[in-house]
Amino acid sequence: MIRQVAFAGLSVLALAAPVAIKPAAAAPQPLGLVATIEPVPLVCESGGCVAVLASFCLMQSRLPPEPGDAYRPAEGTEVRIAVTRADGGSATLDGGSLLRFVAYTGYSSITVAVDQAALEAAAGGGVKEAIVEVGPRATLLPLDVAGDPAPLTEDEVALATGPWREQAEELFDRPNPRSDANRLVARAIGALPEDEKVDGPAMHQAAWGTALATPGRGFTEDGVALGRRMFAACQNTVAQSLRWTMRRCLENRLDQEQRVINQEYWDQQAGS
């Protein structure tokens, strides 16, 4: 079911074009893109539409991505955009071909972005609402770069998209308290402004409404409760320190929590 959301906030990083890539650097890690369970709203403002999604590292032997590194969906990855047009019509679009996938805080989150004009052209009219849906076992590969001294090998891609991604499904894709909380926190981050000057209680309340007030039936009760505790802890942090915005605090917590789950995944890899 499509949920009504208010469009507010924008990730400038995700909309930057072209994305800066350092040709001399070796390809970074393949990433798992966490299945959404409940759809994530694309936040549209100033000609662009952006969402923040939780992600994780599939290959510890590769260096992590830097913020701004560009990725593409691996073959078989399902990413859809469900659109409600201004005229009341609807459309389901191939997000893999329309969206730009950019590492946000490293390997623990990804921004997906599309120009609003391109989205409306693909949808066949003005867009009232757009949401992103990520299927199970979604995998992102770094964009090929000319002159890469160590591109991903065919064997690495086969491992990342095959048995290693399958092994990660239980920890990341299926409903469980920690992954559900991180999904909700990522959704709240996407509803918050990056501009520190406009951060404030009204924006915090909007993010709460978008992500946590009515999170959806697909999430576990414990996951929703944990997500709400993470949000409340950041409210306290922001109230006590001028150095933190709500978005920055939630980004930090998401990064920390995803790393904990990722370490469990790496430990499983080592033991298999």
The residues with which 141 forms a beta bridge, in sequence order, are: 72
Is 34 in the same domain as 135? yes
Which of 117, 152, 187 corresponds to the end of one domain?
A: 152
pLDDT at residue 148, as a whole number? 82
Is 121 in the same domain as 232? no
For 91, list phi and psi in degrees, rounded to 5.
Answer: -155, 150
Is 46 in the same domain as 118? yes
For residues 174 and 32, the answer to whether their CB atoms sit within 8 Å is no
Q: Which domain holds residue 217?
A: 177-271
Name the nearest CA neighbour of 234 among 201, 209, 198, 258.
Answer: 201
Is 181 in the same domain as 148? no
Is 198 in the same domain as 101? no
Exposure string over 109-134, b if 16+ CB within 10 A, otherwise e = bbbbbbebeebbebbeeebbbbbbbb
pLDDT at residue 208, as a whole number? 87
Which of 137, 152, 167 corresponds to the end of one domain?
A: 152
158 found inside a domain: no
Q: How many CB atoms lie within 10 A of CB 68?
A: 16
Which of 99, 118, 152 corresponds to the end of one domain?
A: 152
Is 212 in the same domain as 82? no
Is 32 in the same domain as 135? yes
pLDDT at residue 24, as a whole number? 54
Name the nearest CA neighbour of 212 among 193, 229, 234, 199.
Answer: 229
What is the total count of domains within the chain? 2
Residue at 87: amino acid letter: D
Is 32 in the same domain as 132? yes
pLDDT per 10-residue tile (average), the chain, 272 residues: 34 44 72 95 91 95 93 97 95 97 95 96 95 97 87 94 96 96 94 80 85 88 95 92 89 95 91 64
Is 98 in the same domain as 213? no
For residues 164 and 62, the answer to whether their CB atoms sit within 8 Å is no
